[in-house]
Amino acid sequence: MMRVISAARLVTCDDELGTVEDAALVVGADGRIAWIGAHAALPAPFRDAPAPRDQAPLVTPGLIDAHTHAVWAGSRHAEYAVRMAGGDYVAIANAGGGIVSTHKAVAEASEHDLVDSLGARLRRMAALGVTTVEVKSGYGLTPELELKQLRAIASAASRTDLPRVVPTFLALHALPPGCADAERHVEQMCGLVAEVAARKLARFVDAYVDEHAFSVAQARKLGEAAAKAGLGVRLHVGQFSDVGGAELAAELGAKSADHLEHLGEGGARAMARARVAAGLLPTAAFTLGQKPPDVAMLRRAGVAMVVASDSNPGTAPTESLPLAMAIGVRSFGLTPQEALLGVTRHAAGSLDLSGGGVLRVGAPADLVLWDLPHEIALVQPWGTPRARLVLRDGAAIGH
């Protein structure tokens, strides 16, 4: 069904921010954008068509959350209290909290429950203006349970009433409880990549490269398995220490290296040369009370910056991408424009979504009508959902 939208201000994110005042946008019956421009120039066939009409002070592309761990079970509220009392990530992991506690909850949950809770989470994300969500597995830790998580993601991905889903096989997240042989675990997970690709259960693989996680050499093996299977690579890099993950991301042609609180100039330059996006996760740094990544250095190096929620039950206990944008501006020093491009055009680029993250004729009509006067108001005020209407492929989602 065709739909005609009027906006006092429309931000295309296509050419830098690309703003149009007193704008109109027409969604075609095919769910793609048929026309954009000044309202006064709206061609007569669209102006006079008997189509639903909507209006809003502000229209932007649908937001894209390019880094989440949104398929989980259980709750880690008890661990949060320990963390706030001064227990660090390593102490929590050693006490049986952290990733392993979510692993246990995921192991006990039925696949049906995982699908249900993921679907509910995605619906709430849509209500915040999010139309695409990258979702990682990674709490399974064994081949059987990773496949269970990936099937749950695929089930949510098949629904058109939720944000579109980009699935990632987070193959190297932590060792399963009782596993003392890291090399064997890496071999086992690398051995699963071909099957995951053949069953179309993921578009990317991911590994957590850090001092207390997996090494560059281990993650390289995974990257090589992904290349063979035709899957892209994203990496968790430099959250607690710089062990060379950014350079590895560049070497593997990864689409994105995320966290980056610890990153050297050489790593930033390598990312820029290989066009690896920087996935900034302000909510996680906020929860952990960390010093922000060196945004000025990333800017200088010319690295595309993406902002994502990192939605997970431990270190980023939120589903809100707008909250991540707001903290990104307040704590990381991003400009509001950088934060918006980081959840639209640059996020789409990091997920290989052609035509995503921008408002352009022919692109999917993924867009948000906001009850806000200006795009800067996406990051101030914050904390309250202000999306009036959220469209994916021209159809309303998130209600």
Q: Which is nearer to Zn ion, 99 or 231 (CB)?
A: 99
Q: Which is nearer to Zn ion, 210 or 310 (CB)?
A: 310
For 305-333, b/e burial (b = at least 16 CB within 10 A) is bbbbbbbbbbbbbbbbbbbbbbbbbeebe
What is the contact mask toward Zn ion in residues 179 to 218, using x (rule: CB under 5 A)? ----------------------------------------
Angle of CA points 260, 192, 209, to nearest 5°: 15
**How far apart are CB 350 and Zn ion at their closest, in Å?**
14
**How far apart are CB 195 and Zn ion at their closest, in Å?**
23
Tokens of 47: 């102006």
In the chain, where do the E strands start and end?
3-11, 19-27, 33-38, 53-61, 63-65, 130-136, 164-172, 204-209, 232-237, 256-259, 277-280, 305-307, 367-370, 387-392, 395-396
Q: Which is nearer to Zn ion, 58 or 99 (CB)?
A: 99
How many chain residues bind Zn ion (CB under 5 A)? 1
Tokens of 369: 């009508």
**How far apart are CB 14 and Zn ion at their closest, in Å?**
29
**How far apart are CB 326 and Zn ion at their closest, in Å?**
19
**How far apart are CB 67 and Zn ion at their closest, in Å?**
6
Q: Which is nearer to Zn ion, 331 or 337 (CB)?
A: 331
Q: Which is nearer to Zn ion, 12 or 239 (CB)?
A: 239
Whole-number Å distance between alpha carbons of 146 and 196: 10
Residue span binding Zn ion (CB under 5 A) among the ranges 8-16, 144-152, 216-224, 307-315: 307-315
Residue span binding Zn ion (CB under 5 A) among the ranges 35-43, 148-156, 180-188, 302-310: 302-310
Q: Which is nearer to Zn ion, 284 or 303 (CB)?
A: 284
**How far apart are CB 26 and Zn ion at their closest, in Å?**
38
**How far apart are CB 315 and Zn ion at their closest, in Å?**
8
What is the signed CA dihedral for 159, 163, 164, 170, rounded to 10 degrees?
A: -100
Whole-number Å distance between alpha carbons of 239 and 233: 18
Conformation bin of residue 129: beta by default, left when phi > 0, alpha when psi is -120 to 50: left
Tokens of 194: 């071909």
Q: Which is nearer to Zn ion, 242 or 310 (CB)?
A: 310
Residues 6+ apart with CB under 8 A from 37: 20, 23, 24
What is the contact mask toward Zn ion in residues 370 to 389, using x (rule: CB under 5 A)? --------------------
Distance of CA 244 to the CA centre of its chain: 23
Q: Which residue is nearest to Zn ion (CB)?
A: 310
Residue span binding Zn ion (CB under 5 A) among the ranges 48-56, 217-225, 309-317, 333-341: 309-317
392 - beta bridge partners?
395
User: For binding to Zn ion (CB under 5 A), which residues are involved?
Assistant: 310
